[in-house]
A and B are shown apart, each in its own frame.
Chain A
């Protein structure tokens, strides 16, 4: 076994969307930290055990070669040695089992967690629903979850189609999203940053491109974010964006996407009300820029073959205007 901290490619705060932030050995939240201690402990112990067995094997092979000259080892001594080895195995196994139970206890989800966010997985993106203080949904976003630092957050995990698995290794272990059986997961970030995660259960054609970002921010920033997300989409200020909005509403886009404050109320695709403020589009595939938006809308099927968004025929002017509009939806 190799020494554990191999994943240390990134340090501390994780700035841009990705790079190295998706590692179980880089924990930044209480549940993941507990598990990391367990991982390191078990891996080191196992490495030692493996070495011991290998030493025993080497000794047996050497000794066996010379057995002719040295005479036989008595059955009694062999029996004692084997029994002792088995006894040690039992003890180690028992120890690991107890350590594992102990860590499991620390991962329980407190039902009292102040903040509950619903995450609904679909082929192949994440719908994220925030509820108001009375529990009714207030707004939704996609592929990006904002949480306040230093606070227990309960994720309510649901799936509308097949089984997916929510996994942001730096913050917590994974948990499946099973149709018909809601699960929950405790999430807690100790440091501000952007933590990448990815669907871990094979969910069909684009399972590879189903990333999720958890943005952990100071409580004040988080509150500001909530306020901005609650608001409806801004009316386009410049003429390009305005014609972009008109095109969006006239074309099939609105049949699948919602932009609050307009007539677009489709629910098949992600809510785009504040698309311009999100880190990535298409579940982590591309950073949100005007260029990447244009590339995606012009031809979603080449970028992410088989995803559920069709190519909508647009003139290049329409495309540019729609991108200007999307970009303005901060």
Chain B
């Protein structure tokens, strides 16, 4: 078949119909991934505005811009928004877009579930922000410790809103994790054996397992909290035999891996960028994969380091100190491997690579302060102070947002078909890097000087005013850097220079198709013969023949060797995921007001699910 004819037929089969109906019913992983990413960045911007508001209030002692009630809502919103609505979703969103392309398949596994997960995420985010807009935002901290978040001390609906938002994001994150695992295990291009999987895909695979293993803990926690609040159970009420620390164990058993759920994808992004911009494969592929897995395993062994001052047995604390410190070893290993890659490669100093350099500078500080707080005696002084605020921003912003911004510059051509501006990129990197360090480094000192976190004000006698003012001013520099980034992204998406298929000379499969890719990803599915399929050969990639073009069909391969096993049909566009998400959201929000909502609200959900899974005579139900 001629190339033009093939494209035409595949497009007819795979593309999303134009207009509103198409937008609401599409299951194209690229459209959803892009939508997801943009939504997450909107939440990043909103969370940033909240941060600026907090810094406005804290710039001076006993300031009266924001009272305690609003302030507590703001810092709770900032934390919950950044963790649950930005950081985790944005990494998963990038994976939804990139992983199918990087493993050389036409579609993500479970595309309708994917659409559903986006709508759930959007609904959870809207719920939280609308509640905040009408002064019902949660005010119990993003960690929502009981009893402060329990029925006795958190009257009204604020804490319920928080707990339900958690449920929305849990559902969404779990769905994506399952899709990624299946896509990576069963849909890789023929020949992409386990030792030829790109490092970013590995990192998303490990991350997805972390999501699947950690989320049940927070589900149990938030459900128990809702039961305590709405039905009157006493899971966390010590007066009735409940236990306050049970909440903390459940929360941190999820909450600590959560940090790695955010960080590991970033590690994968760094590896992709380093390989491309040093023009050689990342040194120590096997060691990198092992480090990812080791980090994932160890991530579950250190939740107690958030509870060192809660009064736990000393022996237990020693174990968790040791495991918390041990996690620095795989992190160090990865840093050394990147350094070796740079050493042996030929670095090209483009914006994505600058963000990687910034990442190394900043993340090493965050890692070292992490080792500090893993030490029980050290932690008894800095826990819940600004030292910890500094530490985790070095890890989360330095360790995840820097790589993410680099990744956006790097994959922007693949996402939009256009290039971002190199000049603006350098400026925004410079502003973000310096603004970030000026804002957060002094917080280490404030913490050692005794400033607790989550305070809406402090007294003029305390020696903290100078640094606080300095930090607030630096925050403006940081915000300016982000603003520039947003301007660049929006402008370039509309009118940036048109990108070729492989503008950076990268070697992984997503660059083997046009920028942006067609609805069917690859006209002919590639066959992989090495870790670097695009750079190791000058002739075109081998391709698979024999898939149907008149219906959505995927190639299924074996887990280890990625040998072709079967052809499998993939579902088409459908409005049911949206309807199911609406029904589920209605039930979850309604249940904040009465437990009966669970009973009545499940009827529309059942209807939506029946519509979703209704068997069709022809599985290729294309309209």
Contact = CB atoms under 8 A, between A and B. Distances in A.
A93 B325 contact: yes
Interface in A36-71: 38-39, 42-43, 46, 49-50, 53-54, 56-57, 59-61, 63-65, 67-68
B371 A208 contact: no
Contact of A100 (B335, B346, B378): B378
Nearest to B455: A208
Interface stretch (A166-174, A250-258, A310-318): A166-174
Interface stretch (A112-120, A127-135, A199-207, A321-329): A199-207
B336 A86 contact: yes
Given A54-B361, A64-B343, A86-B329, A202 B283 contact: no
Interface string B90-122: 000000000000000000000000000000000
Contact of B329 (A16, A90, A205): A90
Contacts of B153: 123, 161-162, 204
B458 A208 contact: yes
A82 B333 contact: yes
B449 A25 contact: yes
Nearest to A4: B448
Nearest to A168: B450
A165 interface: yes
A212 to B, nearest CB: 12
A18 to B, nearest CB: 4
Interface in B494-538: none
A67 B339 CA distance: 14
A205 B72 contact: yes
Interface centre among B147, B278, B369, B450 (most CB of A within 10 A): B450
B345 A6 contact: no
A20 B462 CA distance: 6
Interface residues of B, number: 82
A85 B309 contact: no
Contacts of B337: 82
A1 B394 CA distance: 13
Interface string B435-461: 000000100110011101111111101
A46 B361 contact: no
Interface in A161-190: 161-163, 165, 167, 169, 172-176, 178-181, 183
A320 interface: no
A108 B315 CA distance: 12
A111 interface: no
Nearest to B345: A64
Interface stretch (B379-387, B541-549, B555-563): B379-387
B145 A35 contact: no
Contact of B381 (A90, A169, A203): A169
Nearest to A41: B378
B451 to A, nearest CB: 8
A83 B441 CA distance: 31
A34 interface: yes
Interface in B202-222: none
Contacts of A9: 449, 463
Contact of B378 (A38, A176, A200): A38
A67 B239 CA distance: 69
B394 to A, nearest CB: 11
B297 interface: no
Contact of A176 (B309, B317, B361): B309
A181 B463 contact: no
B223 interface: no
A285 B371 CA distance: 35
B68 interface: yes
B147 A162 contact: yes
A219 interface: no
Contact of A18 (B67, B245, B462): B462
Contact of A96 (B329, B336, B371, B450): B371
A201 B376 contact: no
A50 B376 contact: no
B377 A89 contact: no
A42 B326 CA distance: 16
Contacts of A6: 445, 448-449
A19 to B, nearest CB: 5
Nearest to B459: A18
Given A18-B459, A22-B449, A181-B244, A200 B332 contact: no
Contact of B238 (A39, A172, A181, A196): A181
Interface in A275-323: 284-285, 305-306
Nearest to B458: A208
B374 to A, nearest CB: 8
Contacts of A108: 314
B361 to A, nearest CB: 7
Given A60-B343, A100-B376, A208-B458, A89 B68 contact: no
A163 B140 CA distance: 12
B339 A34 contact: no
A208 B381 contact: no
B339 A57 contact: yes
B377 A163 contact: no
A24 interface: yes
Contacts of B326: 93
Interface in B290-320: 309-311, 314, 317-318
B365 interface: yes
Given A104-B377, A203-B148, A78 B310 contact: no
Contact of B325 (A25, A96, A208): A96
Contacts of B335: 53
Nearest to A204: B148
A7 interface: yes
Nearest to B335: A53
18 contacts: A2-B441, A7-B463, A22-B449, A22-B462, A42-B372, A42-B375, A53-B339, A53-B364, A54-B364, A57-B361, A67-B346, A97-B322, A100-B377, A162-B148, A173-B380, A179-B238, A200-B384, A201-B145
Interface of B: 67-69, 72, 141, 145, 147-148, 152-153, 238-239, 243-245, 278, 283-284, 287, 309-311, 314, 317-318, 321-322, 325-326, 328-329, 332-333, 335-337, 339-340, 342-347, 357, 360-361, 364-365, 368-369, 371-372, 374-385, 441, 444-445, 448-450, 452-459, 461-463
Interface of A: 1-2, 4, 6-7, 9-10, 16-20, 22-25, 32, 34-35, 38-39, 42-43, 46, 49-50, 53-54, 56-57, 59-61, 63-65, 67-68, 72-73, 75, 78-79, 81-82, 85-86, 89-90, 93, 96-97, 99-101, 103-104, 107-108, 123, 161-163, 165, 167, 169, 172-176, 178-181, 183, 196, 198-208, 284-285, 305-306
Given A20-B462, A54-B361, 20 more contacts: A10-B463, A19-B462, A20-B449, A23-B448, A24-B449, A34-B377, A50-B365, A57-B360, A64-B347, A67-B345, A82-B287, A90-B329, A108-B314, A162-B147, A169-B450, A174-B381, A179-B147, A181-B238, A205-B68, A306-B68
The 8 closest A-B pairs by CB, nearest first: A173-B380, A180-B238, A22-B450, A100-B375, A183-B311, A208-B455, A18-B461, A60-B343
